[in-house]
Structure 1
C-alpha cells in the first residue's frame, strides 16, 4: 500500500496554495508593469537628443523639470482637472448607477440603459469632442437659445475654448467609467440588508449614507482609478477644447516631444528651455 501524505506536507501545500494561485498574475504584472516602469526610471537619467538616447547618467532632466515654475503650474492645473472631473463623475455615476440598480426592475430595461450609455463609445473620442463645438460656440445652439429667451444679451465666451469646456468634455467622456463599477457594486448588495434598515426605521438618506455608500466603496475606488488615469494622461481634450487657454501634463509632454523632434540634434537641456 502507498503511504498517505504526512500532515506536515498537507500543511505546507495549503500555505503555498494562495501564492501558487496568484503566481501567474504576479508574473504578468512583473513582466509587463514593473519591468517597464523600472526601465522608464533608468532611461529618465539618460541624456538624449532628437534622434537617439544616450546612456549617460545625468540629473539635469529632473533639475530642469522640478525647477520650472511652468511645469509646477501645469501639474497643479492637471490635478485641478482631475479632482473636479472625479467629483462630478462620482456624483453623476452614483446617481445613474443607483437608479439603474434599485429602480429599474426589468433586466431588459437595464440592458437598454447600458446600451444607451455605451453606444457613443462606438465613435472616436475626438469626434465626440468636436461635436460639442456647435453647441458651445459663440454662435452655437446654447448661446443662441440663451439670447432668444432673454437670459443673456451677448454670447457667453466661457462655454468654448476654456477650462469649463475641458471639464465638460471630461465628464461627458468618462462618466461611464464611474457608472459601470458602481453599478456592479450596487448589484451585489443584499436587498435584505436594505429591508432590515427600513424595518429598523432608517430614512432614505440614512440608508443611502450608512448602507449603500459603505458597500459601494470598492466601486468608487475602481471608478476613481479609471477616471484619474484617463484625465491625467489625456492631452487631446485640453488641446482641442482648451483653445490654448489651458494646459495639462500630457499636453506639456506632447509639446516637449514635438519640440525635440523639430529642433536640430542637440542635448535635451537646449530643448527643455522651451518649457
Structure 2
C-alpha cells in the first residue's frame, strides 16, 4: 500500500512532460509564423480594408470626404439596369476582361500542360529536366514591359512576321490585326503567364507514381486513355492552382492591355488605373471591390472542383 503513491508520482510526471513539450512546440510555431502574419496583415489585409472603406467615401470636385455612401457603386453600374437587355459600358468592360481571362486561361492550360507533360514523362534525367525548366524561365529575366515591347518589331505592319508572310506569298498586304488588337493582348498574356500554369502542373506530374502509368499500359490502355484516366485526374490540384494564378493575374492586368492593345482596348484594370490617375479614388475603390468579388467567386468555383488541401 505504501508503494502505490510512490509509483503514481513518476507516471503523473511522465504524463505532464509530453503536454508541456506540445505546448512549447505550438508556441514556437506561432512565433515562427508571427513575422509572416504581421507582413500579411500590414501589406494585404490592411490595404484591402482601406480600399473597401474608401469605396464608401464621398467624392466631389477632387475632395474626399469620409462618409458612408453608395454613390460610387451607383456610379459604377449607372444606367445598366435601365438598358437591359443591352449591355452598358460597365458590363461590357467586365465581359471583355472575362473574355481575355478565359482565352488566356485556355491557351496557357494547353501550352503549360503540354510542356509539363514533356518534361515529366519524356525527359528521363533530372539534370536535363532542370536545364529545360531553367530555359523556360529565361524570358522572366527581363521585365514584363521589355518582353511586351519585343513583340512590336515582330507583329507591326513592317515587322518580321508580316514581311515573312508576304515573302512566301501567303498575304498581299500587311495584317493590321497582329498588333494593337485583342489577338496581341491574348498573345502577350500567354507569353507572360504560361510559366505560372506550367509549374504547378509539372509539380503534380512529378509526384505521379510511374507504376500507375505502367499498370495502365499493361491493362491495354492507349496513350490517350492513360492521359485522360490517370494523368489528368492526378494533375487536378496543379491545374487548379495554375488556373488560379493565371485568372487572378489576368483579371487585374492593365499594363499588358494598354501596351499590346495600343490604349484602344478596355479592361476593368485599365478603367481602375485611369480613375486613379484622375484621383477618383472612391469609384476606383468600388470597381476594385467588385473585381475582387468576381475573382473570389472564380477561385471558389475552382476550389469546389478539387480539395487542394487534401490533395496536396
TM-score by length of 2: 0.75
SS state at 1:48 partner? strand
Partner of 2:217: 198
Match of 2:71 in 1: 60
Do the aligned partners of 2:196 and 2:245 also contact (CA within 8 Å) in 1? yes
Equivalence for 1:215: 234
Partner of 1:85: 104
2:243 counterpart residue number: 224
SS across alignment from 1:245? coil
**CA deviation vs aligned residue, 1:177-211 (integer Å, no higher than 9, x gap):** 11111101100001111111111111111110111
- Secondary structure in 2 matching 1:260: coil
Shift of 1:34: 4.0
Alignment: residue pair count: 259
The answer to whether structure 1 residue 243 and structure 2 residue 262 are counterparts is yes
Q: CA deviation at 1:33?
A: 3.9
- How far is 1:150 from its partner? 0.6
Q: Distance in 1 between matches of 2:73 and 2:14?
A: 58
Unaligned runs of 5+ in 1: 262-266
- Displacement after TM superposition at 1:256 (Å): 1.2
| 1-structure distance, mates of 2:89, 2:71 | 16
1:4 and 1:62, CA in 2 relative to 1: closer, same or farther beyond 3 A? Answer: same
2:73 and 2:158 map into 1 onto residues whose CA distance is 45
Given that 2:254 and 2:270 are in contact with CA atoms closer than 8 Å, whether structure 1 keeps it comes out as yes
Alignment check: 8 A CA contact 2:57 2:282 kept: no
Shift of 1:154: 0.7
1:110 aligns with 2:129: yes
Distance 2:93 2:225 in 1: 41
* SS of match in other structure, 2:109: helix
Q: What's the counterpart of residue 95 of structure 2?
A: 76
- Mapping of 1:124-273 within 5 angstroms? 124-260=143-279
User: How far apart are 1:260 and its partner, in Å?
Assistant: 3.1
Structure of greater relative contact order (alpha carbons < 8 Å, 6+ residues apart): 1
Match of residue 47, structure 1, among 55, 58, 82: 58
Give the TM-score taking structure 1 as reference length. 0.85
Partner Cα separation in structure 2 for residue 31 and residue 124 of structure 1: 26
| Residue 300 of structure 2: aligned partner | none
1:161 deviation in Å? 0.5
Other-structure match for 2:120: 101
8 Å Cα contact 2:54-2:282 kept in structure 1: no
Instruction: Tell me which residue corresponds to 1:264.
Output: none
Shift of 1:158: 0.5
| Larger-gyration structure (1/2) | 2
Structure 2: how far apart are the matches of 1:165 and 1:205?
Answer: 32
**Residue 192 to residue 78, structure 1, CA distance change in 2 (3 Å):** same
CA pair 218-135 structure 1, distance change in 2 beyond 3 A: same
Contact 1:97 1:183 in 2 (8 A): yes
Alignment RMSD: 2.8
